[in-house]
Amino acid sequence: MFFTQEGFALTWDYRQLFIDGLVCTVSLSALTVIFGFILALVLAVMRLSNWHPFSFLALDKNGHLREEGFLAALGRFNPVSFIASIYVELFRATPMLVQLFIIYYVVFADIDIPSFKLFGTIRFERFVPGVVALSLNSAAYLSEIIRSGIQSIDGGQTEAARSLGLTQTQNMRFIILPQAIKNILPAIANEFVTIIKESSICYTIGVGEIMYAVASIKGATFRIAEPLVVATAVYFCLTFPTSKIIEHFERKMSVGDKR
Amino acid sequence: MTNDKIIQVKDLKKYYKKGVIKALDGVSVDINRGDVMVVIGPSGSGKSTLLRSLNLLEEPTAGSIIFEGVDITNKKIDINKHRQKMGMVFQHFNLFPHKTILENMILAPVEVKKIPAEQAKAKAMQLLERVGLADRADAYPIQLSGGQKQRIAIVRALCMEPDVMLFDEPTSALDPEMVGEVLDVMKELANEGMTMVVVTHEMGFAREVGNRVLFMADGKLVEEGTPEDIFENPQSERLQDFLSKVL
Ligand SMILES: Nc1ncnc2c1ncn2[C@@H]1O[C@H](COP(=O)(O)OP(=O)(O)OP(=O)(O)O)[C@@H](O)[C@H]1O
Ligand SMILES: [Mg+2]
């Protein structure tokens, strides 16, 4: 038998660990969503930006852009977009675990984070690198979602906005992003759910989230199946309502789509 | 009518694919204040490209556009400042679907010109009144017919109080019964002395409302004249051929 009543009873004795784990997972995911989304927005705008700082090098004496040659290529170079592309490709092409370890063991090796317990249970000096790693990673994925959302908006919208005299930034803010975000909400919801699930990886650096609770109970009781069942249920109770809540917002935002 | 030039187009070229496609191949034309200039020509002749170059939605490969004395093809100028003064109306309306009609109209005045919202609203309502759509101020674009959308697009541009209005086939995407209501608004605008550049296949409109007609083919300006010149007395073979097909 995998599951025994005794096993569940033992697990129940350690329920406080799950509650702490739940609090930790929720904080971890929520902060990741916030920071990840902000960074993703910045990355997406960077990738789609139209900044050509060297374009003055490609101007001829009448102030027109040259068509060909090295200077013309330099004139078209957009360092901001280039940096964002490198970032996205790098984070999407390497394992999350590697990124987490690099952040925790290398980047934060010499950074002093005050070690205290958040909400009385979360070890702050491990929690912060976890949030950072998760945010950096999810930002790469989210930015691709946002970018495709932005690009899916009909070019006529930008043309109309620009012809009214709106700057590129105003066009983004008032015209493109509100429409794009509405379109990509399902994909974003998906990514939020992924973040909740992926946050379990932080157990490997000793962040006291749900999987950490499972490991602790296993160590104390030598039971694994029952704590895992509980963990599964807790994760499901987190992710399922999350997607439902976002679906609700999606419906609310679709005003203007229907007659 | 004064003869001061509002837009001067000088030897404008727009190439695609490194010159394989010459959408515009050296077009020069002066547009005077108060002109209603109608641009006609076969499909692919560069009419849209010319129109869209006027407010730099299309960046010309060569040549210049002097708008109210400023060369706007010069990279060093702030194009947004000049675009505000050129209203544009598109074939597919391009209303902002997530904003109500009123919001569509006041966005640019409030955000670009920094006009107080109340003042912008009053102006917008006045314009809506004029095109008979005041009761739709709080509707969303999807709730309007094509003809209504295009009338909104026109007044949205007018909210910025432009010096010139550019129209790219404003009636081509409309059901035939809605063409009239849009042309009527344009006619009224022309009668008020608005400078207009209109790309259209509506030859009736060109004759009746236009004071100048440009005929384009293969990216070039082939013939230019009054509606009588162009329609009654076409010179070039290209134009005669074109007219025989469309009239
Ligand atoms: N982005 C582009 N890339 C390549 N070629 C283009 C592009 N835009 C326009 N062209 C070409 O430039 C030429 C002129 O196009 P334009 O849209 O100005 O024609 P038009 O006179 O407006 O035609 P229509 O009556 O069909 O609207 C066409 O041959 C077109 O295929
Ligand atoms: Mg066209």
Give A4's contacts (C-beta < 8 A, 6+ positions apart).
A226
Q: Ligand nearest B47 Cα, by number?
A: 1
**Quick check: A64 contacting B, CB < 8 Å?**
yes
Amino acid at A72: A
Which tens digits make up the pLDDT trace of B113-138? 999 999 999 999 999 999 999 999 99
Which helix or strand (DSSP H or E) is residue B199 part of?
strand B195-199
A67:B94 CB<8 A? no
B140:A256 CB<8 A? yes
pLDDT of residue A110: 85
Q: How far is A155 from chain B (nearest CA, A)?
A: 9
Closest C-alpha to A243, from A171, A189, A177:
A189
Chain centroid, CA B132 distance in Å? 22
Give B240's contacts (C-beta < 8 A, 6+ positions apart).
B234
Mutate which of B13, B14, B21, B222 for ligand 1 pocket (most atoms within 8 A of beta carbon): B21
Q: Ligand nearest B19 Cα, by number?
A: 1
Q: Is the dihedral of CA A210, A211, A215, A217 positive or negative?
A: positive
Task: Determine the Cα–Cα distance for residues B14 and B63; give it in Å rounded to an integer.
Answer: 9
Which tens digits make up the pLDDT trace of B155-200? 999 999 999 999 999 999 999 999 999 999 999 999 999 999 999 9
Q: Is the dihedral of CA A45, A51, A53, A54 positive or negative?
A: positive
Chain A residues with beta carbon closer than 8 angstroms to that of B61 = 67
Closest C-alpha to A96, from A202, A237, A219:
A202
Task: Determine the Cα–Cα distance for residues A239 and A228; give it in Å rounded to an integer.
Answer: 16
- Residue A242 scores a pLDDT above 50: yes
Mean pLDDT of chain A: 88
- Region A176-200 average pLDDT: 89
Which tens digits make up the pLDDT trace of B42-75? 999 999 999 999 999 999 989 999 999 999 999 8
- The answer to whether residues B220 and B42 touch, using CB atoms and an 8 Å cutoff, is no
Provide the percentage of residues in chain A whose pLDDT is more than 70. Answer: 94
The per-residue DSSP string of A149-200 comes to HHHTS-HHHHHHHHHTT--HHHIIIIIIHHHHHHHHHHHHHHHHHHHHHHGG
Q: Which of A162, A174, A178 comes nearest B111 by C-beta?
A: A174
pLDDT of residue A133: 96
The phi, psi pair for A229, rounded to 5°, reads: -60, -45
Token pair 């039971």 is found at A223
pLDDT of residue A1: 61
Burial track A54-83 (b if 16+ CB lie within 10 A, e otherwise):
ebeebbeeeebbbeeeebeeebeebebbee
Measured torsion, CA atoms of residues A82, A83, A89, A95, in degrees rounded to the nearest 10? 170
Which tens digits make up the pLDDT trace of A129-141? 999 999 999 999 9
Task: Determine the Cα–Cα distance for residues B218 and B111; give it in Å rounded to an integer.
Answer: 40
Task: Determine the Cα–Cα distance for residues A137 and A87; give it in Å rounded to an integer.
Answer: 10
The per-residue DSSP string of B101-137 comes to HHHHHHHHHHHTS---HHHHHHHHHHHHHHTT-GGGT
Query: What is the edge-to-edge ordering of all strands in the sheet holding B86-89?
Result: B86-89, B164-168, B195-199, B36-40, B212-217, B220-225
More confident of the two residues A252 and A80 = A80
B57 CA distance to ligand 2 centroid (A)?
A: 13
Mutate to test the interface with A, among B111, B154, B161 (most CBs of A within 10 A): B111
Task: Determine the Cα–Cα distance for residues B186 and B39; give it in Å rounded to an integer.
Answer: 15
Smallest CA–CA distance from B56 into chain A, residue: A163
pLDDT of residue B1: 45
Q: Which of B55, B97, B113 comes nearest A163 by C-beta?
A: B55
Distances in whole angstroms, Cα of residue B44 to Cα of each of B19, B21, B47, B70, B247: 15, 10, 8, 29, 19
**Which residues form the pocket of ligand 1, taking CB atoms under 6 Å from any ligand atom?**
B 16, 21, 23, 41, 43-49
**Residue A222 tokens, joined:** 């030598």
HSE-CB at A216 with a 13 A cutoff on CA atoms is 19
Which tens digits make up the pLDDT trace of A140-165? 999 999 999 999 999 999 999 999 99
- Residue B152 scores a pLDDT above 90: yes
Task: Determine the Cα–Cα distance for residues B179 and A127; give it in Å rounded to an integer.
Answer: 64
- Residue B3 scores a pLDDT above 70: no
**Residue B40 tokens, joined:** 């006609």
pLDDT of residue A258: 53
What is the radius of gyration, based on Cα positions, of chain B? 18
Chain B interface, Cβ < 8 Å to A? 18, 55, 57, 59, 61-62, 64, 71, 73-76, 80-81, 83-84, 86-88, 90, 92, 94-99, 107-108, 111-113, 140-143, 153, 156-157, 160, 166
Which tens digits make up the pLDDT trace of A67-98? 677 887 888 889 999 999 999 999 999 999 99
pTM for the model stands at 0.82
Task: Determine the Cα–Cα distance for residues B200 and B172; give it in Å rounded to an integer.
Answer: 8
